[in-house]
């Protein structure tokens, strides 16, 4: 039977980020998208994921499960804890977009940099990396930074300014770390535009790593 995959987004701009990855890596599955921009609006307003917003995300996960999804990937890192809370309420496998990235960062180096354009994303991403390091029995040093002005630039339509600010932050942080994590899926495009000289250390973005992980889960389930 064809597996159904649900992507839950907090911005419609994430659909064209994940669609090519799904087309490449999730062949033979059926994919549908759910988008609720109000979740991200709440997070930006409050600087965190408030309880009512977390409940709405959980409700979306339940709705995706009711719609027949076998796997549900939530693409907003700011909602990681709500994603985890939803897992016990559905039969589908529910995934945080940033978990595979966090695991790879921990495996790659002890000095881990985290870059975000929203403070609300920085804390849950850093906490996830710390928890995955503890689970792996590894001591790490985290260096975190929020790229001032980058989110406002991309929201206003100035993607070039956003990418320039993020790239500058990447170059600076690469001098102090073994690996850099991009806390938001929306930042992934910046990595693709950098020259090899501009990324002397690994720079990890969540979209491809998350979809590759999902593809492995589906393959493992099919072989059992």
Average confidence score pLDDT of the chain: 93
CA distance to 129, 140, 154, 168, per residue, from 82 (Å)? 17, 25, 26, 32
- Please count the CA atoms within 13 angstroms of the CA of 14 that sit on its side-chain side: 25
At the topology level, CATH places domain 4-97+208-223 in: Rossmann fold (3.40.50)
pLDDT for residue 25: 98
State mean pLDDT over 39-66: 95
Instruction: Identify the band that residue 188 occupies on the pLDDT scale cut at 50, 70 and 90.
Output: confident
79, 57 Cβ separation under 8 angstroms: yes
pTM of the model: 0.93
What residues contact 21, with CB distance under 8 A and at least 6 apart? 207, 208, 211
Q: How far is CA 165 from CA 148, 158, 172, 224, in A?
A: 8, 11, 11, 46
Please check the confidence at residue 74 and state whether its pLDDT lies above 90. yes
Question: Can you name the CATH fold of 99-206?
Answer: Rossmann fold (3.40.50)
Mean pLDDT on 13-36: 96
Residue boundaries of the structural domains of the chain:
4-97+208-223, 99-206
Q: Which residues pair with 142 in a beta bridge?
A: 112
Q: Judging by beta carbons within 10 Å of its beta carbon (0-12, 13-18, 19+), is residue 158 exposed, middle or buried?
A: middle
The whole-number pLDDT of residue 159 equals 86
Question: Above 90 in pLDDT, residue 165?
Answer: yes
Q: Taking a C-beta distance cutoff of 8 angstroms, is the pair 108, 179 a contact?
A: yes
Beta-strand runs (E) in 36-169 = 71-74, 93-96, 111-116, 141-146
Q: How far apart are CA 142 and CA 113, in angstroms?
A: 6
With a cut of 80, say whether residue 224 has pLDDT above it. Answer: no
Chain segment 84-134, per-residue pLDDT in tens = 999 999 999 999 999 999 999 999 999 999 999 988 888 899 999 999 999
């Amino acid at each position: 039977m064809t597996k159904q995959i649900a992507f839950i987004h907090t911005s419609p701009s994430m659909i064209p980020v994940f669609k090519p990855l799904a087309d490449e890596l999730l062949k033979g599955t059926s994919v549908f998208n759910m988008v609720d921009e109000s979740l991200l609006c709440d997070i930006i307003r409050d600087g965190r994921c408030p309880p009512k917003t977390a409940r709405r995300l959980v409700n979306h996960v339940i709705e995706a499960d009711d719609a027949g999804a076998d796997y549900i990937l939530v693409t907003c890192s700011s909602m990681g804890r709500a994603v985890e809370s939803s897992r016990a309420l559905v039969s589908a496998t529910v995934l945080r977009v940033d978990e595979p990235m966090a695991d790879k960062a921990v495996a790659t180096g002890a000095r881990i940099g985290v870059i975000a354009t929203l403070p609300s994303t920085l804390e849950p991403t850093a906490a996830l990396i710390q928890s995955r390091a503890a689970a792996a029995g590894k001591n790490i040093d985290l260096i975190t930074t929020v790229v001032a002005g980058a989110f406002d630039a991309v929201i206003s339509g100035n993607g070039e300014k956003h990418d320039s600010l993020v790239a500058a932050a990447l170059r600076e942080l690469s001098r102090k770390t073994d690996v850099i994590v991009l806390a938001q899926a929306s930042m992934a495009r910046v990595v693709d535009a950098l020259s090899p000289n501009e990324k002397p250390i690994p720079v990890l973005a969540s979209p491809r790593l998350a979809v590759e992980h999902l593809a492995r889960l589906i393959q493992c389930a099919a072989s059992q």
